[in-house]
Structure 1
Amino acid sequence: MASQLWCLQLIAKQIHRPVPAMLKQQHHHQVTIHGVKTVVSIHPSQLAIHPVSKLDSILSNFYLHTVIYFDKVPTSSPWEVEREELNFSLAEVLDLFPSVSGRLRVLDNGNLGIKSNDAGIRVVEATCDSSLREWLEAEKDGSNRQQLLPEVRISDYSVSPLLAIQYTLFRGGGLALGLSWCHILADFMSMDLLVKLWGEAHRKQGKLSSRPTSSVDVTSADVQLPQPFAHTNLSINASELDTRVFHFGSKVVEAITRESGGGGGETEALCAAVWKAVVKAQEQPSSGDSRLCLWSNTNLERNRGYFGNSATAFKFVDAVSPLGQSSVSDVAKAIQLGTRTNGSYKCASSFFANNVLFCNWAANVPVYDDADFGFSKPFYVEFLAAPLFGEGMVTIAPGREGGRSKSVCVSLRSEAMKRLLQESYFGSSSTKPANGVIS
């Protein structure tokens, strides 16, 4: 009983800052923000500093986003009650993730660290005047998607949260759960683990299936950053970017994999098709200077429960020339060879080169099964990431059809995106699920 009273007292102390209703309106869709809260863990965490590796320190201004759509919300109780229960179960799970509730600090040695000080995470409550189906139908160009994501920017280390969550309730039912977090905290796989445990806590299933462990960054000692290191040498302004999500059905993925011939498996084939198309869209069809930086956690043992970025490996692959005119098979073979032989982590300075396309392979993140809060499993999930430098960013994630289908988020400069839409697999003319269809 004492423990329950302690929990209730902590929840009662959540900072609730009612804000004037704000309308973020585009294309006749209105998302209204009704309130912002700070959710803290149930039990106070032991004050500690979690060092940030040299590699992760690059990511302090880099953000990842996930939007999880549910086509059903609970009907047994009002949404306001369900929302508070979600916040409570979130607070329970934060007990397991002390770094998530912390804040960044500059340590005495000049490196970054995360201070576990129970400062909490930001939770935004919103509604939309459209139904979920209407919203998705209208979102062909992705221009409204940002309305479903909470703003999180590390403008001040002392106060800026590392994770923010937004509930958006659609007219007539349906829910979007938007998550935005600093990449210095975790990758897509690790954030999926938090969502999985949050769902289990909300379903009140008792003992959780797994618990996170602090990940040991084996790459930290080998990474060499450019000196002096500063984020002022970032080459892309967010206002220059156009970010869109394409749906590749199972038949398209199978066709691309067949097209790659003996050039590897599904990973190499999809990365090759996207890389080739993006280079052509950048109007560099004859360039052999382009490089692919492939981020992959495909070898992660799911039950190890790592939380962080250390399970993610990156490999740089040099292009075959001319890349834009090469076959998918040749490009896939180059990726397969490059990822097998290029195991060096001593190339962090390559992150800042303008000729790098970043490809984040998140296709093995089981969010469609993990994001189970008891009222429904996800209807659709979007994984979003935008680059700070280089040619652009591609994130390949599980598709909404299941099977081999993939969701491909591409973030490029606006002019390059216009040209990409004319490339095979990226056109918006077809609406058949088996084809590449823009979201």
Structure 2
Amino acid sequence: MAEIRYTCKRTAVSTKPVQPGKRLPLSVLDRLMEPKHLRVVYYYGSDDPAREAGERTRTLRETLARTLTSFPKATGRLQRDGEGRWEIDCNDAGVRVMEARARGSVEDWLRNAGREDELRLVHWEEMFDTPYFWSTFYVQMTEFEGGGFAIGLSCIHLLADPTCATMFIKAWADMTLNARLTAPPPSFRALPKRRPSHRNDPDRHNSLINHCKSSINTSSLTPSAKFGTLSLAFTEPIVRSCIAMARPVDAPDGPGPSPFEALAGLFWACISKVKGEREGLVSMCLGLDVRKLLGLEREFFGNCMVYNNSLHARDNEEDNSLPGAAKAIGEMMAKLDKDGVMDLIEWLEINDDTRPKNTRSLNFSELLFLNLEGIEPDTARFEDTHAPIRVSCYFEPTCKEGQVVILPSTPEDGSMSRVVMVTLPEDELVKLMEHDLVMSLRPIILMGLNKNRA
């Protein structure tokens, strides 16, 4: 395991105070994610080896303080409102910052790092009995002695989804490079409401509501198996090959699936076989960003992902094929509409229980797939010529059956290129790395149990 020295832990506060008494309520979509947290790592390549040790960290520390003026939700603290619901007291208490140094270059690190190494680059502390003093966001800045650096951000999922996390890092990069935000500031408004004339019956049982009901009534279990993470890079030609393989057999000349549908279908089919399914697919849950669907701006800062589970016929022999899995995912995505999401939000609001001991949160009992294709990590440039060379995202604690995160790769690999992060029990991960269908595409192994095997 590579050596990391944690040199300092401090609190960063914004340079401009928030208006006294400002509070931000959390939505019903926020409150569903309370037990979870996110960890994101951005890697930047080696540049000037003569740079003074700690010079970059000092610069980033100063620009972080200026960035925080636009993110009062990140610098505030959790407290209960008069009805017992969580809200953010925007009191400028700040975010916790960890500064660290690592041996070697960032490129050396990436050639050898595994899941546990990577998680050491993004500090996180669990909240216990003192939420008012606990930082909901943590930042870690790690400089590599041989060149390069890493930015780690962790936050409680109660306040933000992956889009928000990457929005924060991009704003920080803009402030460092341009001394200002180049995109609109984050928006902290409430989720949209239906007009009374357009109101549907929120008690009608659409699939989103049914899945939510089953998930919040499922007890949260800590997985007993040891999990590993496999990260694979699919360049644009590889993704195109996967799309061709995923075309419906009954319509070979029709429009093919999207990159996400093809890759998610590939891993759903292969993981199902790894988990022992012979005639069907394991149950899965699909997480999708619905900002655009709800007419919200990209800068909406809060949870705006919804989760739906799969409906598949186990007696269909093609169900566990790549084309069958990709088709099922495409159908799930096509059926997601604004009315269905608004029904879910209204059902959650009607059935909201404000008592803290009756917290209603999602407990994923299925294999989870997260679509993070829209996060645009390459725009987070702290220096003019340096886009991140890799980005990783973790959804913690790991779901019982595992999870698959699909996000963009570097632009050099093509606009359709993707990185797929698969987290499974280690014995299943070994089988997946040996699966003929995955390895036939020859993806680049970025991180795995034994990265040098291929």
Q: Specify the TM-score bucket, using the shorter chain as the normaliser.
A: 0.7 to 0.9
- 1:414 maps to a residue whose letter is E
2:284 matched to which residue of 1? 291
Deviations 1:331-386 (A, max 9, x none): 111112222225545498894352x2221111221111223344622122222224
1:416 matched to which residue of 2? 428
2:37 matched to which residue of 1? 63
2:137 to 148, 154, 163: 163
- 1:423 maps to a residue whose letter is H
Does the alignment pair 1:87 with 2:61? Answer: yes
2:389 matched to which residue of 1? 379
- 1:242 maps to a residue whose letter is G
Does the alignment pair 1:339 with 2:313? Answer: no
Larger displacement relative to structure 2 (34-43 or 55-64): 55-64
Query: Residues 130 and 106 (structure 1 numbering): CA distance in 2 closer, same or farther, change over 3 Å?
Result: same
- 2:137 maps to a residue whose letter is L
Determine the C-alpha separation between the residues in 1 that align with 2:90 and 2:375.
27
Determine the C-alpha separation between the residues in 1 that align with 2:94 and 2:430.
40
The answer as to whether partners of 2:368 and 2:399 remain within 8 angstroms in 1 is no
2:70 matched to which residue of 1? 96
- Aligned-residue Cα RMSD (Å) equals 3.3
The answer as to whether partners of 1:35 and 1:126 remain within 8 angstroms in 2 is yes
Does the alignment pair 1:398 with 2:392? Answer: no
Does the alignment pair 1:187 with 2:181? Answer: no
Query: Residues 146 and 207 (structure 1 numbering): CA distance in 2 closer, same or farther, change over 3 Å?
Result: closer
Higher RCO by CA contacts (8 Å cutoff, separation 6 or greater): 2
1:203 matched to which residue of 2? 177
Equivalent residues in 2 for 1:103-182 (5 A)?
Answer: 103-139=77-113, 141-155=114-128, 156-182=130-156
How far has the Cα of 1:219 moved from its partner?
8.4
Deviations 1:142-184 (A, max 9, x none): 3411221112322342222111111111122111111111122
The answer as to whether partners of 1:292 and 1:319 remain within 8 angstroms in 2 is no
Determine the C-alpha separation between the residues in 1 that align with 2:317 and 2:190.
37
How far has the Cα of 1:238 moved from its partner?
7.9
- 2:376 maps to a residue whose letter is P
Query: Residues 191 and 329 (structure 1 numbering): CA distance in 2 closer, same or farther, change over 3 Å?
Result: same
Determine the C-alpha separation between the residues in 1 that align with 2:263 and 2:361.
23
Does the alignment pair 1:268 with 2:279? Answer: no
The answer as to whether partners of 1:289 and 1:318 remain within 8 angstroms in 2 is no
- 1:105 maps to a residue whose letter is Q
The answer as to whether partners of 1:36 and 1:124 remain within 8 angstroms in 2 is yes
Determine the C-alpha separation between the residues in 2 that align with 1:190 and 1:252.
29
The answer as to whether partners of 1:357 and 1:391 remain within 8 angstroms in 2 is yes
Does the alignment pair 1:437 with 2:445? Answer: yes
1:39 matched to which residue of 2? 12
Determine the C-alpha separation between the residues in 2 that align with 1:273 and 1:45.
48
Query: Residues 133 and 436 (structure 1 numbering): CA distance in 2 closer, same or farther, change over 3 Å?
Result: closer
The answer as to whether partners of 1:368 and 1:381 remain within 8 angstroms in 2 is no
Determine the C-alpha separation between the residues in 2 that align with 1:92 and 1:350.
34
Query: Residues 318 and 325 (structure 1 numbering): CA distance in 2 closer, same or farther, change over 3 Å?
Result: closer
1:254 matched to which residue of 2? 240
Determine the C-alpha separation between the residues in 2 that align with 1:194 and 1:248.
26
Query: Residues 172 and 77 (structure 1 numbering): CA distance in 2 closer, same or farther, change over 3 Å?
Result: closer
How far has the Cα of 1:42 moved from its partner?
0.8
1:15 matched to which residue of 2? none
Determine the C-alpha separation between the residues in 2 that align with 1:330 and 1:227.
25
Structure 2 unmatched runs, 5+:
195-200, 203-207, 249-255, 349-359, 448-454
Higher strand content, 1 or 2: 1
Deviations 1:104-150 (A, max 9, x none): 223332222122111111111111112222211112x4341122111
Equivalent residues in 2 for 1:229-240 (5 A)?
Answer: 233-237=219-223, 240=226
Deviations 1:284-327 (A, max 9, x none): 333456133232358478964222222x3433332342689622
Determine the C-alpha separation between the residues in 2 that align with 1:227 and 1:406.
31
2:73 partner SS:
coil
2:241 partner SS:
helix
Determine the C-alpha separation between the residues in 1 that align with 2:317 and 2:386.
44
Determine the C-alpha separation between the residues in 1 that align with 2:169 and 2:216.
34
- 2:221 maps to a residue whose letter is S
- 1:261 maps to a residue whose letter is R
Determine the C-alpha separation between the residues in 2 that align with 1:228 and 1:304.
27
How far has the Cα of 1:102 moved from its partner?
1.2
2:368 matched to which residue of 1? 358
How far has the Cα of 1:213 moved from its partner?
1.1
Deviations 1:215-256 (A, max 9, x none): 4324899697669969x9212348732223222222221111
Query: Residues 80 and 368 (structure 1 numbering): CA distance in 2 closer, same or farther, change over 3 Å?
Result: same
Query: Residues 162 and 338 (structure 1 numbering): CA distance in 2 closer, same or farther, change over 3 Å?
Result: same
Determine the C-alpha separation between the residues in 1 that align with 2:12 and 2:317.
49
| Superposition TM-score, scaled by structure 2 size | 0.79
Larger displacement relative to structure 2 (388-397 or 157-166): 388-397
Larger displacement relative to structure 2 (74-83 or 161-170): 74-83
- 1:175 maps to a residue whose letter is F
